[in-house]
Structure 1
C-alpha cells in the first residue's frame, strides 16, 4: 500500500477512535480525566502507527 494512503487511513481511524473515546469515557470516569485519557490514547495511537509506517517504508 502507498505510504501516503496508509497515513490517511491511519489518520481517519485514529480520529474515529478519538471520537468514540470522547463519547464513551466520560460515562466511565470523571470528565476531566476522561478527556485527558482520550487525548493521550489518540496521541499514543498516532505515534505507534507512525512508527510502524516508517518501519514498513524503510
Structure 2
C-alpha cells in the first residue's frame, strides 16, 4: 500500500477515535477534566503506535 494513502487512513481513523472518545468518555467518567485528558492520551497512543508500525513496515 502506498505510504501516503496509509498515512491519510491512519489520520482519519485517529480523528474518528478522538471524536468517539470525546463523545463517550465524559458520559462514562463523571470527573470533569479527566475524560478529556484520557481521550487525548488514547489519541496520542493510537497515533504513536500506528506510526511505529508503519515505520517498521516501510523500512
TM-score class, shorter:
over 0.9
| CA distance in 2 between partners of 1:31 and 1:3 (Å) | 39
Segments ≥4 residues shifted beyond 3 Å: none
Q: How do 1:16-55 residues align onto structure 2 when only pairs under 5 Å count?
A: 16-29=16-29, 30-55=31-56
The structure whose residues are more often helix, as a share, is 1
Higher relative contact order at CA 8 Å, sep ≥6: structure 1 or structure 2?
1
Where do 5+ consecutive residues of structure 1 fail to align? none
Where do 5+ consecutive residues of structure 2 fail to align? none
Aligned residues: 58
Q: What TM-score, normalized by structure 2, do the two folds share?
A: 0.95
Q: What TM-score, normalized by structure 1, do the two folds share?
A: 0.97
